[in-house]
Amino acid sequence: MSQALKDKIIQSLIDQKEIFGDDLFEESILNSRRTEIIAAPADEDSLFKENWELAENLGDLNKLICECQKCALGETRNKFVFGSGNPEADVMCIGEGPGADEDAQGLPFVGRAGKLLTDILKAINFSREEVYIANVIKCRPPGNRTPLPSEMETCMPYLKKQIELIKPKAILCLGLTAAQGLLKRKDSLTNMRGKIFDFGDVKVMVTYHPAALLRNPNWKRGCWEDVQKFRKLYDELRNK
Ligand code: SF4
């Protein structure tokens, strides 16, 4: 942080103290803030971040964002669906958004699609408890409609923060919406399946959403092939 910026902030605090008196700024608070500012890392951005952006663990992040009303879905949800699983997972599964069961329980991938996801994970030797499961958006769109691009854009920073805290080795994206949202691609699911993408340092693969598999059981073979490749990728990453 530049000295000029530090001086400006300190002067602003002193000016406010003069205006508002000790009710607002006791000397001890001002002194500690002054020390904090002087000792602050050279990251001027952190001064302008929202509280949740500074969360150091998933529990704190959840508490800081669970009452979010940044998009219209906040008004219609029953429960905010943060995510669940191992906070130190090597593997994350990312879906589109909560459905009716998830909205009622406040947990991701419950109900029939959730059971199928558990079975898919089991088939490639992952237990549900060892992975972390989350969605691109945290609140249910009414009638299970596809989230709007603006809703995904607004909610995506929360998912990015979850990924930053969990630091998985690999992500399995479930369905077109999740894949397009996370990877910022306009590709079809067919084009994205079987390929390996980068999300920062994290490798990403894409397969069908379990709810789509329930509607189209003939896609299960393709999903099986995808998750075999995902397991192989994970084993390679783990053995590096
Ligand atoms: S969907 Fe995301 S951005 Fe919209 S209200 Fe819910 S948590 Fe906030």
Ligand 1 pocket residue status of 150, Cβ below 6 Å: no
Ligand 1 pocket residue status of 159, Cβ below 6 Å: no
Using 50, 70 and 90 to split pLDDT, how confident is the model at 175? very high
Residues contacting residue 108 through CB under 8 Å, at least 6 positions apart: 81, 83, 84, 95, 98, 102, 114, 133, 134, 135
Length of the chain as a residue count: 240
Alpha-carbon distance 39 to 1, whole Å? 9
pTM for this model (two decimals): 0.81
Calculate mean pLDDT across residues 179-188: 96
pLDDT digits (tens, 9 = 90+) for 99-154: 999 999 999 999 999 999 999 999 999 999 999 999 999 999 999 999 999 999 99
Stated as kind and residue range, the H or E segment containing 173 is strand 170-174
- CA 33 to ligand 1 center in whole angstroms: 32
Alpha-carbon distance 211 to 227, whole Å? 16
Using 50, 70 and 90 to split pLDDT, how confident is the model at 40? low
Strand pairing category for 84-85 and 132-135: antiparallel
